[in-house]
A and B are shown apart, each in its own frame.
Chain A
Amino acid sequence: METMQRRLRESPVITSVVSVLLGMLVGAIMMIAAGYNPIQAYQALFMSAFLMPYDIGETIRTISPLILTGLAVGLAFRTGLFNIGVEGQFIIGQLAAVIVALKMDLPPVLHAVVAVLAGALGGALWAFLPGLLKATRGVHEVITTIMMNFIALYLANTLVRNWLSQGADSTETIPESASLRWDLLSQAFGNSRIHFGIFIALATALFMYYLLWKTTLGFELRAVGLNPHASEYAGMSVKRNLIMSMMISGLFAGLGGASELLGTSGYLAIHGSHTGIGFDGIAVALLGANSPLGIVFAAVLFGVLTYGGPVMQFEANVPTEVIRVVFAAIIFFVAANVVRWMMSKFGNKAVKKSD
């Protein structure tokens, strides 16, 4: 009884599932408070993603970048790093990909591959500085990466305005040769914008699993995250691992940005504020307990909610922003480990009663 209770209390799956339900409860309360019907709203929300092949395709398209940004945040978390900079690395991934797509002339497939790799490299390099500063000068990565997010945003904007276009608000559309779209795939899903990004995302999840649990580097990354002092004592270089972790995390984020640009939008526009996909990655990673499989499932849930939001607004009249509230509540419940607290309260009562 005791061990089963503890196992339940410490299982990340239980924590995540209960947190999601609590989060949706908060959303329902918000809806009732504003005079909407939560049952109708949630029905529209979840049904919308699976109505037609087109919707399924679009939902998968929404999920793909969330998997990648979630993996990016999750990998850094494993080494004890909080990479809030995934948003900025995502933008640099987009920027590097669009530069290769527009400025280089390569045959089909190869062009797309080079553009994707450029995005990944860009993301990794953008994460290098925060990693270096953390390793050499002990500067907290949260602050540097937040600053780097804004620098990335303005850098992309100035390059789009002054170099990639002649003073316009967005670049031209990328050539067919660099696109990640595939007509057969798109047609199979009712001409939606689904693209190769989902395969990149799933392959990256597999890669993260392999890296963390099947390689020496991965072992070191996790060891540093669990106990940097012990790792140092065991002869691992904590500094090197911190920098590596940030760069691999940035690489995942860059892949997300590149595939989103080459697959979904096809051009880079000037943005007044951040895309939000990088920040959503934080929620995805937390909910997925930083495990590759958990992150994929969490991204599916967040993707379904994100895609379903506008449909819910249309059908049940509930503003889409209630989804953001649900996300926020889920983050709170996972972070504060409210579930474990509830179980310990509940568990103690049960034990007392049986006495």
Chain B
Amino acid sequence: MSHDIADATATDTRPAARAHTLQATPSVIAVQGLTKRYASGFEALKRIDLDIQRGEIFALLGPNGAGKTTLISIICGLVNASDGQVRVNGHDIVTDYRAAREQIGLVPQELTSDAFATVWNTVSFSRGLFGKRADSAHIERVLRSLSLWDKRRNKMITLSGGMKRRVLIAKALAHEPQILFLDEPTAGVDVELRRDMWDVVRQLRDQGVTVILTTHYIEEAEEMADRIGVINDGEIVLVEEKAALMRQLGRKRLRLDLQTPLAAIPETLAHYPLSLADDGNVLVYTYAASANEYSTPASISALLNDIEAAGVHFKDLHTEQSSLEEIFVNLVRKDA
């Protein structure tokens, strides 16, 4: 699968600029008070409110059984909601389901396929199902972009798991959706294919497709998403722009164990974000984890020089960082 460098750099510089444009556009999916109670009384979703912005990649993170798939299934029409409302580009998913669903492509978690149909036929079937005129040029483009062109005459049963996953993506793209749901797209997929999928998703986003993916790989959310939502036990625990989240969560702390406790931070060090801990025995310096994005690598050595010059001596030092994973686990645990 091709993915050129210009593309990659374009994506890297995007989030900050994107954040501004996103705020101006109305949400492409608006979920309000969505609740799902099964006949057994189990509440899979508890009054969920969520807005997905046009053109973003939104990652829905959560442990198994958190309600990720139920949420997607309701939006896509596979499961009935017990309460609440979902609008897709302003179209209610129940009363105006045709207009809502026309814009959505769904890649399910399970590798389900009609074993004896060929790749070409099953992808064309998907397009027809959405009421679109047959368009072999579009199907060819989709198959080529997913490296499936050589397999177009193969029956589904002859394909590997990774290839089947690609076919499911091709099926979801067959009707040129504006919104793509990927439910655990890289579960059980090898590293190389995972990178390929990420490339495909980025290309789609560059074409203006809104992508919502569920995952329990933190790495995936970190790599792909513009915004991250964490769902646990049927509730949205947090929704945040990834860049902001990384700024918040990606803070590092440098802790210096002092030889003699300080009563206050010396004047000459006042311009550093320093604080005292453990009755003045520890000097804490908080800084951004990602040096090239939020700070300069020189600042730590400058700080250490200035501390030396201020006559403060330390006997030991160590750094701490809270990762997305750590915060995620904390969020989920606190709730459980």
A and B from one assembly?
no
